[in-house]
Structure 1
Amino acid sequence: MEETMRKLLLAGIAVAMMATPAFAANYRFVIVPKAMNNPFFDFARDGCLKRAKELGNIECVYKGPVEHEPATQAQIIQDFVTQKVDGLAISVADVAAMTKSIEAATAAGIPVITFDADAPGSKRIAYIGTNNKEFGVALGKQLVKMRPDGGKYAMVSGGPGAKNLAERVDGVREALKGSKWTEVAGSPTFCNDDPALAVQQMTDMRTATPDLAAIVPIGGWPMFAPEGFKAFASRNKKDIDSGKFTLVVADTLKMQLELLRDGYANALVGQRPFEMGEKAMDTLLAIKKGEKVPEIVYTGLDLVTKDNVAQMLK
């Protein structure tokens, strides 16, 4: 009788121990940005790390190309497939290349989701991020609101193979269709997520078209080189202050908010990368638990002008 009770007691302890978080399955989830030199993705990394720590049984690994290089991104993903990680969250730099990488990961039994930039025709399970068409529309509407008189405008984009950026370009054009704004030849330029190149392209466009009335970078790249952006804006400050030249820029990182506050831009439309990183961990964990997850999770936008920039900086 005593031996039977002892066995039951030990069995009960074992069951209780297995139920504790310390004995929960541990997972290694990887978040792969387009480029690690893009500070936008630092916030996705921070959201990933924060949520992983809160969940307790997840390791968040953050690794991508140093610069915007789709081939390097594909190789990094292949390395993680070889390592048999438990899940991948990818910001897609090039749809064609990543569709193949996602297929390889899926074939190896690794669940894949995308964040920030999608590959909807791939075998990814879910997308977390911005509704990029609406993002572009918001940028265009902000320009029309500030300058209904119109004029010539140009856009700066990142990588030509990124679907999310193409959708933003389409959104800006849709918002400006029927307005008094006309897009100049050669727009958009493609900076490949290089901040210094983005600033140079803005300078070149203003030189080539002296009566250019607005530039709309559909990503925050030129502002990610704050001193270069400030130098460009300073050369055009008289026209910015008089309303002859308008800068409506995507994203709302701290340095961008400070540049807006100090009068070097007119408006920002921001995404929520920190939330993307958090939700990526939640989604991958739910998939590993066998739960059904939404295919699309939009994280929203923030509109910032001189009227609310101080509040945003808080």
Structure 2
Amino acid sequence: MTDKKWTMSLIILFFLFLYVLFHFIASTQKLEKTVEQLQQASHSAPQMPHFVLISQEFDNPYWRKIEQGAKAAANQYGVNVEYIGPLRTSMDEQMKLLEKAIASRVDGIIVQSLNDKYFTPLIDKAISRNIPVITIDTDAPMSRRLAYVGTNNFEAGQLLGKAVASRVKGKKKIGVIIGSDTAENQQLRLKGFQSVIAQHPHLTIVAVSSSNISRIQASIQAERMLRAHPDISVMVGTSALDAIGILMATKNLQRDDIEIFGFDDVEETLQAIQHGKIVATVIQKPYDMGFSAVKLMMDHLSAREIEKEHFTSIEVIDKTNVQLEEAK
């Protein structure tokens, strides 16, 4: 090959190199500009707040209604609500989930406080890390929580006592099934119930037992109670599945004479009231609890002052108004 051809080849290769280099630099600059624009968009886009709602038991129908209310508020206010909870009622599991939520540094925590003594330090830990906490269904009044949303449980127990006192005739002995020996809300309901029954000498509470928020355990404990105290003619449950469990026990023992009073508006309870198998139940507003808790958390994040206690309504449902409740 002649020197002239070599020179021409080198010139062509040089210009090809410049062409490739130019396009490489242009593509790189364009890519860098695109990445910069994406980063700016990412930083400028508002982040959706992330709240965690910790239930007492993941698939409990009462807590599912709280979840529904919370999710409805989440859609309305533009927030992500993550619903979690133990598969079976367990205070230890709830505390572990609360610890995880704190470690994840979420924007807000909505949690039931089963026991003020054990939950208060964890709630205060979250507050110290600038994570707002609202208690729901059961309060931790000694903690630094922002607010409590739910039933006034002492008054709910009193309303249950009044429902029994106004509907039971004659001298009666009463057996009580509570949801938990350790849960503050159950203890408050029991105390409220006892305070009313104590005002009626013809009514006597002879036994109290715990169902651990389980229909099967409610049935087992009710059956044991009725065998030990066959003179019991009124039975009362203070958590959502207790009345249905009591009803199962009376069927097993063929005790159709037992007058049953319950708590919450579980579908089976309402149907049993309609069929005359359960006398009455005190219902809460779990949907309203979930909705209000999310709304109050958003109010707090928007620097609006919120009330420390937000009590949702309660009412007695019996055969006179059960159809209205079922229609809701």
Shared fold (TM-score, shorter chain, > 0.5): yes
Q: 2:93 aligns with which of 51, 66, 72?
A: 72
Question: Is the 1:283–1:293 Cα contact (8 Å) retained in structure 2?
Answer: yes
Q: Aligned pair 1:114/2:135, yes or no?
A: yes
Question: Is the 1:248–1:265 Cα contact (8 Å) retained in structure 2?
Answer: yes
Rounded Cα–Cα distance in structure 1 between residues aligned with 2:302 and 2:100: 24
Partner of 2:50: 28
Q: Aligned pair 1:222/2:235, yes or no?
A: no
Q: 2:60 aligns with which of 38, 45, 67?
A: 38
% identity of equivalent residues: 25
Rounded Cα–Cα distance in structure 2 between residues aligned with 1:204 and 1:37: 27
- Shift in Å, 1:302: 2.0
Q: Aligned pair 1:279/2:279, yes or no?
A: no
Question: Is the 1:71–1:97 Cα contact (8 Å) retained in structure 2?
Answer: no
Rounded Cα–Cα distance in structure 2 between residues aligned with 1:170 and 1:230: 23
Could you list the per-position Cα deviations for residues 170-206 of structure 1 after superposition, in whole angstroms to 9, with x for gaps in the alignment?
Answer: 110111113111111xx32122212210111111111
Rounded Cα–Cα distance in structure 2 between residues aligned with 1:65 and 1:97: 17
Question: Is the 1:52–1:59 Cα contact (8 Å) retained in structure 2?
Answer: yes
Could you list the per-position Cα deviations for residues 48-97 of structure 1 after superposition, in whole angstroms to 9, with x for gaps in the alignment?
Answer: 11111122x20011111111211111111111111110001111122222
Question: Is the 1:144–1:150 Cα contact (8 Å) retained in structure 2?
Answer: no
* TM-score normalised by structure 2 residue count: 0.82
Q: 1:266 aligns with which of 254, 260, 279?
A: 279
What are the equivalent positions in structure 2 for 1:234-253 lying under 5 Å apart?
A: 234-235=251-252, 239-240=256-257, 245-253=258-266
Larger of the two Rg values belongs to structure: 2
Q: Aligned pair 1:164/2:177, yes or no?
A: no
C-alpha change, 1:104 and 1:249, in structure 2 (3 Å) is: same
1:188 counterpart SS class: strand
- Shift in Å, 1:234: 3.1
What are the equivalent positions in structure 2 for 1:96-245 lying under 5 Å apart?
A: 96-179=117-200, 180-184=202-206, 187-223=207-243, 230-235=247-252, 239-240=256-257, 245=258
Rounded Cα–Cα distance in structure 1 between residues aligned with 2:178 and 2:255: 26
Question: Is the 1:89–1:114 Cα contact (8 Å) retained in structure 2?
Answer: yes
The aligned amino acid for 1:231 is M
- Shift in Å, 1:104: 1.4
How many residues get paired?
284
* TM-score normalised by structure 1 residue count: 0.86
1:128 counterpart SS class: strand
The aligned amino acid for 2:70 is C
What root-mean-square deviation, in Å, do the aligned CA atoms of Structure 1 and Structure 2 show?
1.9
Partner of 1:4: none
Gaps of 5+ in 2: 1-40
Partner of 2:76: 54
